[in-house]
Amino acid sequence: MEDFNNNEMINERLRQDQGTNESQAYNTAATGNAQHQQNWQNYTGHAQNAQQPFTQYQNPYQYGYIPYQPAGYYPQPAPYFVQAPVPKKSTGWMVTAIIAIVVAVALLVTVIAQAFTIKAYEMYQNSQQNNGEYDVPDPWNWIDPVVPGETDTNTTPVVIEDDYPGNSAITTIGGELPSITNYYNPVPEIIESTENSIGEVYTYKNGEPMGAGTGFVVHKDGYIVSNYHVAVTGDTYTYTLDKADAVDIPLRFVGGDPSQDIAVFKADVDYLIPLALGSSKATKVGELAIAVGCTTGANNNLPNTVTVGHVSYVGRKANYLKTTKEFLQIDTSVNPGNSGGPLLNGKGEVIGIVTWKSLISSYDELGNAINSEGLGFAIQIDDVKDEILKIIQSGSIVRPGIGIIYQQVTEEYAKTNNVPYGKLVTDFMAASPAKTAGMQSGDIIIKCNGTDLNENDILGTVISESQPGDKVEVTVWRNGTEVNISIIIGDMNRMVVFD
C-alpha cells in the first residue's frame, strides 16, 4: 500500500511536472507570438480568424519563434529559447557617402551654371547696345556663341563649284522598301537594311580633315545626299559605310541648293543601295522618327548612331539661313554629325533630312539662356525631292532673288502706324543686290515694275520668273518719301552664309 501510495505520489509529481513544462512551453510560444503577431498579420494581409481551421504558414521573419496560432488549439512544442534577431549592419558610412556625392554634384552644377550665367549676362549687356536684339547662336556653336558687338568673320558666301557633270538620263530617285516582319518594333530590321545606304561624309580642305557629317544614297549609280553646310567646309570628300569591310570612297561634288541646305555627291561604286523615299506631307504627328548619323560624342566619332523618337510637328515654320522654312519637328536626339542623315519612318522610308537642333529656347529678363530639350528639325523630303533630281540631272540650282529679309505689313498695321501696305525690309542676305542698289533696312516696298503691291502683289512672281542678270524696278516708302530703285537680280544661292 505504501509502495502503491509512493507510486501514486511519484506519478502525481510527474503529472505536475509535465503540466508545468507544457504550461511553460505554451507561455513561451504565446510570448513569442505576442511580440510578432502584428508583423505576421501584416505579412499575410489579414488577421487569422480564431474560429477557422489554422494553416501553418512559412513565417517571413525567421527569428526562431513559433508562428501565431489561434486560441483553442494545442500549441506545438516550443523551444526553450527564442533566437534574437540578427542585428543590422551599420549604414552610417553609406549615408555619409551619399551626402558627400550630393554635395559634390551640387558644387559642380553651381560652377557650370555660373559659367553659363556669366556668358549669358554678357550677351544681355551687349543686347542693350543693340536695341535689345540678340544674335541667336548657331545651332551647333553652343560653347562660344557669337554675341552682339563681336566681329563675325563668316560674312562671305562660300560657293562650291560643281565637280561632276549632270546626268539627264536619270529620271527618278529612291529605292525599295525594306522587308519588315516585326511591326511592334521595326527599327532593328530597318537599320539592318541600310548597311549599304547610309554612311559618313568626311570633308577635307587642302588635304587637312575639316569635319564629318552624314549622307544617304538616293540612286543606285552612287548619288548621295547630305546637307550643304556639311559640304561647304571642304574641297574634297570621302564616304564611308559602317561595315566591317568598309573603305573610304572618294566623292565628287555634283551640285547643291544652299538656300535649301542640300548637297549631292557622286561615288563611283556599284554596290550602294538607295533608300526608299516617303512623303513628309503624309506624315502624321506621333509617327516614329528614326535618325541615323555619324554622331560626335565621348571625344570621338560614333558612326551610324541610331536614335529613335517621334514626329512632334509637321510643317513647323522656323527662321533658318535668314529665310523662313518649314521643317519636320522631332524629339529624336540630334547631335553634331547627324547633319545630312536620313530621318526614317516606321516603314523605313526617308521622310526628312536631319539638319539642325535648337539648344536655346529663349532668354530670361537677365539674359540667361533657357535650354531646350528634344527640339530637332529635319528638312521635309517633299520640299527637296524635285531639287535633288534637278541637281543630279543638271547641277546646282539657281534661285533668282534680290537678297532681302522682310515682313509683310498688314492693312491693320498700316492704318495703326500710318504707313503704307507692302513689304517691310528688316535685313539683307550677304552680297544682296537690293542693298547694293541702295535699299535700306526699314524701307517698305510698295510697288514692283509700277504695280501697286496693295492691289496686286507680284513681286515674288516677277523675281521667280526672272534670271540672274535681269532687272526689276521697285518703289519703296522711306520716312514718308517714295524712292525708286533699280535692282539687278542675282542668284540667291550665292548669298547664303553658313557660320
Asked if 263 and 167 touch (Cβ cutoff 8 Å), the reply is: no
Is the pLDDT score of 100 beyond 70? yes
Range of weakest confidence among 78-82, 391-395, 493-497? 78-82
Return the C-alpha cell found at 85: 534577431
Q: How confident is the model at residue 82 (pLDDT cuts 50, 70, 90)?
A: very low
> The domain 187-394: what is its CATH number?
2.40.10.120
DSSP string, 234-272: -SEEEEEESSTT--PEEEEEEEEEGGGTEEEEEE--S--
Q: Which of helix, strand or coil describes residue 228? A: helix
pLDDT classification of 12: cutoffs 50, 70, 90: low
pLDDT of residue 105: 79
Among 79-88, 115-124, 255-264, 439-448, which is the least confidently predicted range?
Answer: 79-88
DSSP line for 288-356: EEEEEEEEEETTEEEEEEEEEEEEEEEEEEEEETTEEEEEEEE-S---TT-TT-EEE-TTS-EEEEEEE
Q: State the average pLDDT for the chain.
A: 78
Residue 419 has what pLDDT? Answer: 93
At 429 the pLDDT is 92
Cβ atoms of residues 201 and 215 within 8 Å: yes
* pLDDT level of residue 9 (50, 70, 90 thresholds): low
**DSSP summary character for residue 277:** B
Phi, psi angle pair for 317, to nearest 5°: -85, 130
Structure confidence at residue 131 as a pLDDT band (50, 70, 90): very low
| Section 115-137 average pLDDT | 45
Burial class (CB in 10 A: 0-12, 13-18, 19+), 13: exposed
pLDDT at 112: 67
pLDDT of residue 148: 31
Residue 294: the pLDDT is: 86
Let me know: does 305 contact 295? Beta carbons within 8 Å. yes
pLDDT of residue 311: 98
The dihedrals phi and psi of 281, each to the nearest 5 degrees, come to -65, -35
Note the pLDDT of residue 160.
Answer: 92
Mean pLDDT for 245-273 is: 95
For the chain, the straight-line distance linking the first and the last C-alpha, in angstroms and rounded, comes to: 124
**pLDDT tens by residue, 380-389:** 999 999 999 9
Helices (H), 45-151: 92-128
| Joined grid coordinates for residue 21 | 513544462
Q: Give residue 245's pLDDT band: very low, low, confident or very high (50, 70, 90).
A: confident
Q: Which of 261, 383, 443, 491 is catalytic?
A: 261
Q: What is the pLDDT of residues 145-156, one digit of tens each?
A: 223 333 344 578
Q: How confident is the model at residue 157 (pLDDT cuts 50, 70, 90)?
A: confident
- Residue 145 has a CB neighbour count (10 Å cut-off) of 19
- d(Cα 262, Cα 277) in Å, to the nearest integer? 15
Residue among 285, 350, 362 nearest 316 (CA): 285
Distances in whole angstroms, Cα of residue 410 to Cα of each of 418, 456, 479: 12, 14, 18
Three-state SS for 230?
Answer: helix
| pLDDT on residue 115 | 55
Q: Which residues, in sequence order, are CB contacts of 190 under 8 Å at separation 6+?
A: 178, 180, 290, 344, 346, 348
Distances (CA, A) of 62 to 40, 45, 59, 267, 322: 11, 18, 6, 73, 74
Close Cβ partners of 288 (under 8 Å, ≥ 6 residues apart) = 186, 187, 308, 309, 310, 311, 344, 345, 346
Question: What's the CA gap between 323 and 379, in Å, rounded?
Answer: 14
pLDDT band at 11 (very low <50, low <70, confident <90, very high): low
User: Of 74-88, 254-268, 359-373, 468-482, where does mean pLDDT reach its minimum?
Assistant: 74-88
The answer to whether domain 187-394 and domain 400-494 are alike in fold is no
Catalytic residue list contains 361: no
Percentage, residues of the chain above pLDDT 70: 71
- Is 262 within 8 Å of 384 (Cβ atoms)? yes
* Per-residue model confidence as pLDDT tens digits over 407-455: 999 888 889 989 999 999 999 999 999 999 999 999 999 999 999 998 8
Could you say which of 1.10.340.70, 2.40.30.10, 1.10.3720.10, 2.30.42.10 is the CATH number of the domain covering 400-494? 2.30.42.10
Tell me the domain boundaries of the chain: 1-87, 187-394, 400-494
Active-site residue flag, 383: no
Point out the catalytic residue in the list 36, 229, 280, 491.
Answer: 229
For residues 401 and 495, is the Cβ–Cβ distance under 8 A? yes
Q: Is it the case that residue 228 has pLDDT exceeding 80?
A: yes
* C-beta separation of 219 from 392 below 8 A: yes
80 pLDDT band (50/70/90 cuts)? very low
State residue 197's pLDDT score.
96
The pLDDT of residue 316 is: 95
Q: Is 219 a catalytic residue?
A: no
372 compared with 250, residue with greater pLDDT: 250
Kindly name the residue from 197, 226, 259, 339 that is annotated as catalytic.
339
Average pLDDT over residues 255-272: 96
pLDDT of residue 394: 96
pLDDT (mean) for 305-327:
92
